Each structure stands twice: as structure tokens, then as C-alpha cells.
Structure 1
Amino acid sequence: MSREFEIAREFEVDATPEQVWDAFTTGTGGWLWPMDAPEPREGGTGPFGSTVVTWDPPHRYTNRVANVEGIAEQTLNQLDYTIEPREGGRHAWVRYVHSGIFVEDWDNQYDGADKHTDFYLHTMREYLTHFAPRPVAFTTLDGPEASKAADALSTAVRGLGLAEDVPAGTTVEVRGPDKGLFPAVVDYHNPYFLGLRSDDALIRVFGRNHWGAPVGISVHDFAPGADAKADAAAWQRWLDEVFA
């Protein structure tokens, strides 16, 4: 049965309103994933076939799409961003509202979207604080069928050489692809997601097994000369080995 939903968040970030606006509207993949930048006008075309409903840089941006392409469970999706200056324009306050209509499996769809929202917006703050506006090579991939298991995120965390209860803020040595080791900070960790920040990358591990999907990994690689295809191949090998 169709039901409306709304997910709202408010937060401050150590970035100017202009920097926040660019993060939300340029579609680089620096913190989320690459997407077409919106046409800079009301009535213009936005990402994923949406329409730009509000365009008031750097204060307000809204896009809306009906019959969301590739998502049978959703018939309406709207993203609304409000940005206000703080401390003389050196910082920004943000209100983010994701709303729409889910048409089936409402509780599971809402729970997944709600929890992903916190992780995505945290990643945006990490990007703005540590990496913007560096160029990025982005890749995202899913684990094999075995990564749908109930304990799959814990398996992935152990596969990285980390304790299952490692808290956010901990500096760690991570065991990545081909058993290579690299230093990183655990910037986010709860029962659903793990975020790692190295000097040159944001690595995000998604415990989508909680919603019946495979574990996913996204890599935002800011190293000079970063190769998204090489990152994808390396981390796919890692996923396949961990869940073999």
C-alpha cells in the first residue's frame, strides 16, 4: 500500500554556504556518487530525470521526480536542501528533507532510507572538511550473494582487520585489497555502516544485508592520478575473497 514518507535532518558544517551548495549540486562523486548536475534554473532538468523545483543559490535547491527510474518501490521522490550562513558566512547550517511515496515494503524501505541518510550526510561533512574541492575517482560495488547473510557487515569489518566493536575516532591499520595495509581513521561505525578516512580516500562500507541486499563498498579516491577502474577491480576482489 502506498504511503508518504519524510526524512529530515538539520546540522552545521565547517564550510561556507557556497562550498555546501557546490557539494550538493555539482554531481562530482566527492561524497555521494557521480550524477548529472542540475540545470541551474527552476523548471530545469535535475539528476535521474527529476525537475528542479527551487533554484536559489547558495540558499535553496529542490528537485522532484515522479515514477523513480529503476525503483519499482517508489513513485515520488523529492530532495530539498536549505543552506544558511553561520558565523559571518564561514560556516553553514543545513536542513535536508527527503520525501516521497513508497508503494511497497514501506517499513523496510523507510528504515533503509532513514539510516542511509545519516551516513550519507556524515560523508558529505567528511568530504567538505578534509577533501573538497580535490578531484575524485569514484567507484561503488556490491559483494556476492553470501554478503546478504545476517552477520555480513561484521564479516566485512573483520576482513578489514578491525575489531567488530571498533569505535569511531580510532586510528587503525586497515587490511585492504591484496592484503595491503594502510592507515586510516574510523570516521563512522554503527551496526549498519563503517566509514574509513585515509589521507587520500573515503571508503564506505554499507551493511545493506540488514535490508536484504548485499554488502556494498564505495570508494571516493582523491589521490593524484587515482584510477576508478583499478579501485573497483581491487575492492571487488577483496569482497569476493572475504565472502568466499
Structure 2
Amino acid sequence: MAQDKEFEIVREFEVDATPEEVWTAITEGTGGYLWPMQPPEPRVGGAAAFGSTVTAWDPPHHLTIRSEDVGFPTQSANQLEHTVEPRDGGRAWVRYVHSGIFTDDWDNQYDGASRHTDFYLHTLREYLVHFAPRPVAFATVDGPAASAVPEGLEPAARALGLTAETAVGERVTVRGPHGRPVEAVLDHRDAYFIGLRTDDALVRFFGRGHWGAPLGISVHDFAPDADAKENGAAWQEWLDGAYA
């Protein structure tokens, strides 16, 4: 029987960006590290993405957005809160709190949300340090049903040409769409996610098979001539081939 239960995921970090740069990213630049979203209306009570409402608005220091009608069968409330403060050297300190109510499958839902939070916030820092405020062409694709297993990330790693010895921080040459070599830094890797940073893009691999969903790829391309539709088609072909 489903039972409502609150959750809270809290993270704190510093980043080589000013509070104003962080604020711009979380309000206007979400395509650079999450996905493009409707910017929140700049006032308490204003409308925000996915039917949510702004409940705190104090630029560039405090932003809270809440929804009581999430639209997911396993969640009935969702709140995202950012607190941003300046630090020496033009840096910023960020406290991020994701809270709400899960209505079913609490442990699995919490594990997925917690691990995704860490990866998304890592990608936010990569975006702020290397690419903000450049415009982004965003694409996302999903793998086949065969990738919806706990070990579903492994075929993608092999298709890229990564080995068990490839360490985070290494410069690598991976096999991209159409067999083309892609020069990148392996900026993140664990059993759940892979992150690649090229000179012009962030490419993220989500091993969602741990939570019963197909593997996903998001491409955040900051090149001046980037084509989101073309990127999506190319990586979809690559992804289908990785699991053929």
C-alpha cells in the first residue's frame, strides 16, 4: 500500500563563479547543466517550470520553487531551494536542498534522486567553470529496453572505448557517433554516470537501469554552430548501436 513520506536531499559546495553567475545559471541557464526550462517569474508567487511556484526570490542569494502537483505517480510535492553566498576570490558557496513527498517506492525513489542530484550539481560546476554563459544547444536521447538493467551503463562505456583503468580527470579519445574520435576529459565516472567534457560540450550518460529505466544521454553543446537536432540523431544512432 502506498504511503506518503517526506524526503530531503541537502548538498553544499563552493565553485569558481560569482553568486551572480550561479544565479543566472539556475534561473536562465538550466539547459547548460540540466535541460532547458521556463525561467521563473522574478517574484514571490511567480510561475516557474512544470507548473511550480516561486516561494522565495532574493537575487542572487535565495531561490525556492515549489510544486504541490508534481504529476508523477510516486511523488505528490517537490521543492528546490538554492542559497548562494559570496566567498573570497570571486567564488560562491551554494546550499542546495531538494525536498518533497514520495508516495510510493520510497527507498528506490530517494536513492535515484540523491545520486542524480550529485551528478547534476557536478555538471552545474562544470558548466559554470568552463562554459557559462555561452548559449547551449541541448539534446537528450534514451537507450533501448536492453539498457534498463543495473549493468546497463557498461555497454556504453565499452562503446566509448573506456576501460576499467580509465581514471576521472584523464584526457581521453572516445568513439563518438559515426565512429568519429572525440577528444575529451573524463570529468565524472562511477557505477551510475559517466561525464565527458570536450572543448565545446558536456556529454552525460545516465545509467538509469539501476532504477528500472533505460540509459539516457544528454548533450549540452556550446559550439557557435551547434545543432541540437543533429546531435540528438547522431547520439541516438550511437546509443542504439551500443546495445545492438
Q: The TM-score by the shorter chain falls in which range? A: over 0.9
Report the counterpart of residue 231 of structure 1 in structure 2.
Answer: 231
Which segments of 5 or more consecutive residues in structure 2 lack a partner in the other structure?
A: none
Where has structure 1 moved over 6 Å in runs of 4 or more?
none
Alpha-carbon deviation of 1:149? 2.7
Structure 1 residues 121-153: Cα deviation after superposition (integer angstroms, max 9, x where no partner): 000000000000111000111101111133210
Q: Hey, what does 1:73 align to over in structure 2?
A: 74
The CA distance in 2 between the partners of 1:233 and 1:112, in whole Å, is 27
* Post-superposition offset of 1:165: 4.4
Distance in 2 separating the partners of 1:3 and 1:170: 41
Residues 156-165 or 111-120, more deviating: 156-165
Distance, in Å, in 1 between the alignment partners of 2:214 and 2:29 is 25
Measure the CA separation in 1 of the matches of 2:109 and 2:236: 26
Residues 209 and 165 from structure 1, CA distance in 2 versus in 1: closer, same or farther, beyond 3 angstroms? Answer: farther
CA distance in 1, matches of 2:149, 2:61: 43
Counterpart of 2:43 in 1: which secondary structure?
A: coil
User: Residue 133 of structure 1 aligns with which residue?
Assistant: 133
| Structure 1 residue 53 corresponds to structure 2 residue 55 | yes
Partner amino acid, structure 1, of 2:5: R
Instruction: Tell me if the contact between 1:62 and 1:78 (Cα under 8 Å) persists in the aligned partners.
Output: yes
Alignment of 1:1-244 (within 5 A): 1-69=3-71, 71-87=72-88, 90-244=90-244
Are the counterparts in 2 of residues 137 and 222 from structure 1 also a CA contact under 8 Å? Answer: yes
The separation in 2 between residues aligned to 1:28 and 1:51, in whole angstroms, is 17
Q: Distance in 2 between matches of 1:182 and 1:46?
A: 37
Are the equivalent residues in 2 in contact too, given 1:86–1:93 (CA < 8 A)? yes
TM-score (norm 1): 0.97
Deviation per residue, 1:159-212 (Å, 9 max, x gap): 111113422101100101111101100000011000000000000000001110
TM-aligned CA deviation for residue 215 of structure 1: 0.5
Shift of residue 74 of structure 1? Answer: 0.5
Shift of 1:231: 0.3
- 8 Å Cα contact 2:29-2:133 kept in structure 1: no
Aligned length: 242
Q: Give the match's secondary structure for 2:32.
A: coil
Q: Which moved more, 1:12-21 or 1:142-151?
A: 142-151
Residues 51-107 of structure 1 deviation map (CA, whole Å, 9 limit, x = unaligned): 1000000000000001203x111000000000000016x110000000000001111
